[in-house]
Structure 1
Amino acid sequence: MNRRTFIQQASLFTITLASSKILSACNSNVNDSNAAIKEINFGVLSTESQDNQKPIWEPFAAAMSQEVGIPIKPFYVTQYAAVIEAMRFGKVQAAWLGGKSYIEAARVANAEAFAQVVSADGTRGYYSHLIANKDNPITAEAKAVGGDKYVIQNAAKLTFAFNEPNSTSGFLVPSYYIFTKNNIEPKKAFKRLIFAGNHEACALAVANKQVDVATVSNEALNRLERTNPTARKKIEIIWQSPLIPSDPIVYRQDLPADIKKRLQNFFYNYKDAKVLTPFEISGFVPAEDKNWHTIRELEIAKKIQETQAKENLSAQEKQQKIAELNQQLKEIE
């Protein structure tokens, strides 16, 4: 089966952006590209608590400020939707996003990717995991048969935590590879399903035996080993995804060209290992929007399969909707 045929047999869960809070907090006056930029708010997705993020981000922001020549202020948020809405309404001018959140930001918030993260081992990608507590009786069996298979077969007896709906590794990738491909609806399958809100919360929910299984990225587990080694020792990986394209660095398209150029120069050339090591990365490389087409294809693929499974649509309605989605796939170059 070729890649395109495989994509055309998949679907997507309906995802709702919880944006009302950030809408009220954001300034609706988007920065005029011709106005003087006195500072830049840089969106930081808080996959961990802000207290853990600040010691990592403040030296990086200081170095960026020096290179760009204007203050760069980390803008910490607890949900992916919040930074998207902040960028949409001009409160955030640049950000470090995940693949799925970037696609949404490019669609609604005038975001443009210009750099991509390079991992500490030189790869340009990362992984999604399913994790369980080492002391949980399910863990040994899950590892033996494969965590994805075990979860599918035993979902009705399990409690499960996703990260949040705009997370690539914490929702999109595991929901596609584990559930959509097997025609399973998580909301109906599990004994209890929650959205923990971030990677750290998912990991701690497993470590503290609040849920049986949760999603998390390998990067978040690496950070947890530094910030909370006791919790990390309680966690066992029971499934690993295919490689996910590494995170994009983005700015609003209407930033002045000279500011864009200075941001590019900083990210393309910054190599301070002391500052970058806590991020588990070695640096950044130039990138463009198409680097994340794989994520777009996953989303459209899941929509196709979801449409096929809908019982309230006629055959003609399904055919029309699927044709529209297939056209979207063709338009991704």
Structure 2
Amino acid sequence: MLKTRSFKRQAAMLLLTLFSSTALASCSRGATPSAEAGTTNVASTESGGQAGNQCAPELTELEFGIISTESQSNQKPKWEPFIAALSEGIGRDVKASYATDYAAVIEAMGAGKVHMAWYGGKSYIEAAKRSEAEAFAQTVNSDGTKGYYAYLITNKNNPILADIDVEAGDGDQYVIDNAANLTFAFNDPNSTSGFLVPSYYVFAKNDVNPDEVFKELIFAGSHEATALAVANNQVDVATNNSESMVEVEKNDPTAFGNIQVIWTSPEIPSDPIAYRKDLPDCLKAEIQDFFYTYSDEAVLGPLEWQGFDSADDTTWNTVRELEISKSILETTNDATLDEATKQQKLDELNKELEAVQ
């Protein structure tokens, strides 16, 4: 198998190359938001914002957003017991909001219709940028780790495997060299492992624009969808990740048996849990207390978690660095830009990069 390196170390190692590229330069399809316009104004309060001894009595019901990594029919049995425990733990009704795409959760939080959410790294940094999201917890995997891996996958009966060294994990190079003859599926434009990570490591680093090179390129919408597309020979290669493949193995063993991993990324930080920044401080404290102390294995096991660690917005700065680094490489290699415009964009991107280091 391909030897993996830590995500943070890899991001740091890239910086010298990126700044060198900047010096040399000087000599998607969007998902359709489903949330309605308008906001629910949740006033911030000082010193817990309590009315008497009760915290935020006006907030009798909260919405918890869940990104669409798989179908709702698969998600609901795993999530509903946790949502019920959260509701009991904080003493107010909590309803799960299952989205059809990642952007729907981002937009719903921005509109004030979702108060808390489970995000991936990339969808979280988008929500923090434009939807008042504030991360406060990080998921801890069942094995105690706090990371996962992006994959490229293909069908075990696909003839392309004859030219790929599965043990070496060099499927990324095969995809680059043979893209014109391949059909390829990303997950969602706001997915970390299903879009951002492979976009950088597989394509941007090799000066390849995936929009231009494939016989056919699609966005399947979820990790489950990309897995099934590969298992059913609907596409040659697709993105996925180590966490979602565990779910595919449990939910559809036959499909799982048809899938072969051909490339593995460096480690990615595990997922954030976030709430809106403007929730009352007393309510934030209640929510934090629940997440930091909850450890019911019967409820968390189906989600492949053992608990949650305290975290903040900076925990996912490595994902921000990766997204900015991808933009720097794309700008450096953009032949349509004149040198002055290119340098201006690179200067702006490098300032953004410095701000998150």
Residues 198-218 of structure 1 show CA distances to partners (whole Å, capped at 9, x for unaligned) of 000000000000000000111
Aligned partner (choices 97, 101, 120) of residue 79 of structure 1: 101
Cα deviation for residue 266 of structure 1 reads 1.0
Q: State the match for 2:72 in structure 1.
A: 50
Stretches of structure 1 that go unaligned for 5 or more consecutive residues are none
Cα deviation for residue 115 of structure 1 reads 0.3
Equivalent AA in structure 1 for residue 203 of structure 2: F
2:165 is paired with a residue whose SS is helix
Q: State the match for 1:67 in structure 2.
A: 89
Alignment identity in percent?
A: 54
Partner Cα distance (2:284, 2:268) in 1: 26
Residues 24-66 of structure 1 show CA distances to partners (whole Å, capped at 9, x for unaligned) of x354343334662111100001211101111001100010001
- Quickly say closer, same or farther: Cα 1:307–1:56, change in 2 above 3 A: same
Aligned partner (choices 246, 251, 268) of residue 275 of structure 2: 251
- Quickly say closer, same or farther: Cα 1:70–1:9, change in 2 above 3 A: farther
- Quickly say closer, same or farther: Cα 1:10–1:53, change in 2 above 3 A: farther
Cα deviation for residue 310 of structure 1 reads 1.9
Partner Cα distance (1:251, 1:6) in 2: 36
TM-score by length of 1: 0.94
User: What is the root-mean-square deviation in Å for CA atoms of aligned residues?
Assistant: 1.7
Q: State the match for 2:51 in structure 1.
A: none
Deviates more, 1:181-190 or 1:300-309: 300-309
TM-score by length of 2: 0.88
Q: State the match for 1:287 in structure 2.
A: 311
Q: State the match for 1:18 in structure 2.
A: 31
Residues 134-155 of structure 1 show CA distances to partners (whole Å, capped at 9, x for unaligned) of 1111124223461111111111
Mapped pair 1:198 → 2:222:
yes
Cα deviation for residue 180 of structure 1 reads 0.3
Contact 2:34 2:107 survives alignment (8 Å): no
Partner Cα distance (1:126, 1:10) in 2: 29
Mapped pair 1:31 → 2:42:
yes
Q: State the match for 1:225 in structure 2.
A: 249
Aligned partner (choices 92, 101, 104) of residue 114 of structure 2: 92
Mapped pair 1:6 → 2:28:
no
Cα deviation for residue 2 of structure 1 reads 4.4
Stretches of structure 2 that go unaligned for 5 or more consecutive residues are 1-11, 23-27, 46-55
Contact 2:230 2:236 survives alignment (8 Å): yes
Q: How many residues align?
A: 328
Cα deviation for residue 254 of structure 1 reads 0.5
Counterparts of residues 1-333 of structure 1 (less than 5 Å): 2-8=13-19, 15=28, 17-22=30-35, 25-33=36-44, 36-144=58-166, 146-333=170-357
2:34 is paired with a residue whose SS is helix
Cα deviation for residue 16 of structure 1 reads 5.3
